[in-house]
Amino acid sequence: MHRFLAALTLTLLVGCTLVQQPAPQEATPQTTVAPQSEEQMTQQTPTPPSTEVDEAFIEENGEPGPLTLTVWIVRDLLPPAESGEDTALIEELAEFEASMPDVQVEVFIKRVDGAGGTLDYLRTAPDVAPTVLPDLVLLTREALVRASTEGLIVPLGEAAGPEIDAAFYDVAEDLVTVNGQIVGVPYVLSTQHSVYRTTVFTEEVPNSFEALLEERENPVVYTFPAGPVTGVSRPLLEQYLAAGGQLFNDEGGTVLTGEALEEVLTFYSEAREVEAIDPVVFQFATPAETWERYTTGQSALATVTSTTYLREREEVRSTGLTWTPTPDGTPAPLVEGLAWGLTTGSPDRQEAALMLLNFLLDPVNHGEFTQQIGWLPSQPAALSVWGDDDPYRDFGDLILNNASLLPDSADRQDVAAAIQEALEAVLLNGELPSQAAAQAAQRINGAE
């Protein structure tokens, strides 16, 4: 990362690491990452501070004193330790520390849910151990909604300090909007899309139902995770929504659009007839499994997550990118992501935390970091930093500009199950698409 915010005064402090480690003998201390499940980024041997002092800071806050920001992140933000890229966040935070007088950052890796997770601490610690609480937390959408609903985070509009200086994708803003209020700061995004062999699909990109149903001497099987452990297959949900399907009515109740589901099920029925679909896809629960089929040469068209592809794309050749096949070939991706939540009630700490977020969201910092770790940034300016030589830059921008937020699982649970069971009825039990769609609609909508 090469740029700093103009408002930050350069005062070199210290770097960060995931665990406290002794400095090697006769060597400069290095920032490293230890592969532990509950790690802490702590300070190493300090670099002597510069003699420059921010006079404005002293005038406003008195003589400089240490202010330690505590930040909780999730393991998903970091690539596998063996990739060698897991020091990217450490380096970025060290640069922030170097730019701020007497502000240090400690980062803990925490799971979001369960005993000892982020939400558990935020609910219970204020009364018994307030000093262990963080100032910033990184949350999934569903955790962000719960934290906001329970009053565990500070809505962005109520925080003291600078405004967030970033222009986000619309879908990123949706990620942090709860009941019409901006409650967090979108950071990184992920989606699912297709990869295909350019040596097989030489004329038409396989992103429409028609393209997959074309007669070929050797049919190409569309490999996607059709058998999720719970809920509905993501590609199937995208296709249902792309066909005009709805999950909620105007009153906020669940609804299932029978016509849209029938259109999608008809495609799958026809695809099975031309051998473009194999019921074996129900053995795949995650995109990781379909990606493995692709990388091992067992599939020429498969679903993958953007994060997995970006981290492992060097392993494949002759590979094209496109979105999940839709009825008319129009992209309709569903996106999820991670967002920052502000938890401290202290105005001074809120100001420091927001300055840290602005530093992390500086387009160059944000762009270089996300490119290293294989996540999509929440703002177009950061994605543009990936450069003309990265073919994923333009593809990612197209996807994010046409994306919708993945509906919260709790809100769509019943409809999701009905859609999934309808697909199974058609592909595994041979039911007619019209019959399966009608039964699913009646199950959700009742008699009309």
Q: pLDDT, tens digit, for every residue of 211-226? A: 999 866 778 999 999 9
Cβ pair 106, 41 in contact under 8 A: yes
Asked whether residue 29 falls in the same domain as residue 166, the answer is yes
Asked whether residue 426 falls in the same domain as residue 377, the answer is no
Specify the CATH number for the domain of residue 348. 3.40.190.10
Asked whether residue 55 falls in the same domain as residue 155, the answer is yes
Asked whether residue 57 falls in the same domain as residue 151, the answer is yes
Please report whether residue 7 resides in a domain: no
Asked whether residue 126 falls in the same domain as residue 35, the answer is yes
Rounded percentage of the chain residues whose pLDDT exceeds 90? 67
Last residue within a domain, chosen from 393, 411, 435: 393
Asked whether residue 324 falls in the same domain as residue 350, the answer is no
At 361, which amino acid appears? L
Note down pLDDT in tens along the chain; length 448 residues: 433 232 322 222 333 444 333 333 333 333 333 333 444 433 333 333 333 444 544 444 444 567 999 999 998 888 776 665 557 788 888 999 999 878 999 999 998 877 778 888 888 877 666 677 899 999 999 999 999 999 999 998 889 889 999 999 999 999 999 999 999 999 999 999 999 999 999 989 999 999 999 866 778 999 999 999 989 999 999 999 999 999 998 888 899 999 999 999 999 999 999 999 999 999 999 999 999 999 999 999 999 999 999 999 999 999 999 999 999 999 999 999 999 999 999 999 999 999 999 999 999 999 999 999 999 999 999 999 999 999 999 999 999 999 999 998 776 889 999 999 999 999 999 999 999 999 999 999 985 5
Please report whether residue 437 resides in a domain: yes
Please report whether residue 1 resides in a domain: no
- DSSP E strands in 169-228: the ranges are 177-178, 181-182, 185-197, 222-223
Please report whether residue 5 resides in a domain: no
Segments in 274-408 forming alpha helices (H)? 287-295, 306-312, 347-360, 363-373, 380-384, 392-401
Asked whether residue 239 falls in the same domain as residue 352, the answer is no
The pLDDT of residue 85: 57
Asked whether residue 48 falls in the same domain as residue 98, the answer is yes
Q: Please tell me the total count of domains within the chain.
A: 2
Last residue within a domain, chosen from 393, 415, 430: 393
The C-alpha atoms of residue 133 and residue 343 are separated, in whole angstroms, by 8
DSSP string, 6-35: TTS-------EESS--PPPTTS--------
Report the Cα 399 to chain-centroid distance in Å. 13
Please report whether residue 372 resides in a domain: yes
Asked whether residue 203 falls in the same domain as residue 179, the answer is no
The pLDDT of residue 52: 46
Cα-based distances in Å from 447 to 227, 257, 359, 441: 29, 13, 55, 9
Asked whether residue 88 falls in the same domain as residue 164, the answer is yes
Residue range of the domain that includes 436: 190-333+402-445
Cβ pair 426, 269 in contact under 8 A: yes
Report the C-alpha dihedral over residues 25, 28, 34, 40, rounded to 10 degrees. Answer: 110
Last residue within a domain, chosen from 373, 393, 413: 393
At 56, which amino acid appears? A
Q: What is the mean pLDDT of the chain?
A: 85
The C-alpha atoms of residue 395 and residue 36 are separated, in whole angstroms, by 34
Please report whether residue 44 resides in a domain: yes
The C-alpha atoms of residue 143 and residue 221 are separated, in whole angstroms, by 37
Asked whether residue 342 falls in the same domain as residue 328, the answer is no
Model-level pTM?
Answer: 0.85
Cβ pair 226, 234 in contact under 8 A: no
The C-alpha atoms of residue 360 and residue 216 are separated, in whole angstroms, by 49
At 308, which amino acid appears? T
Asked whether residue 387 falls in the same domain as residue 270, the answer is no
Please report whether residue 388 resides in a domain: yes
The C-alpha atoms of residue 265 and residue 88 are separated, in whole angstroms, by 44
Q: Pairing mode, if any, of strands 319-322 and 222-223?
A: unpaired
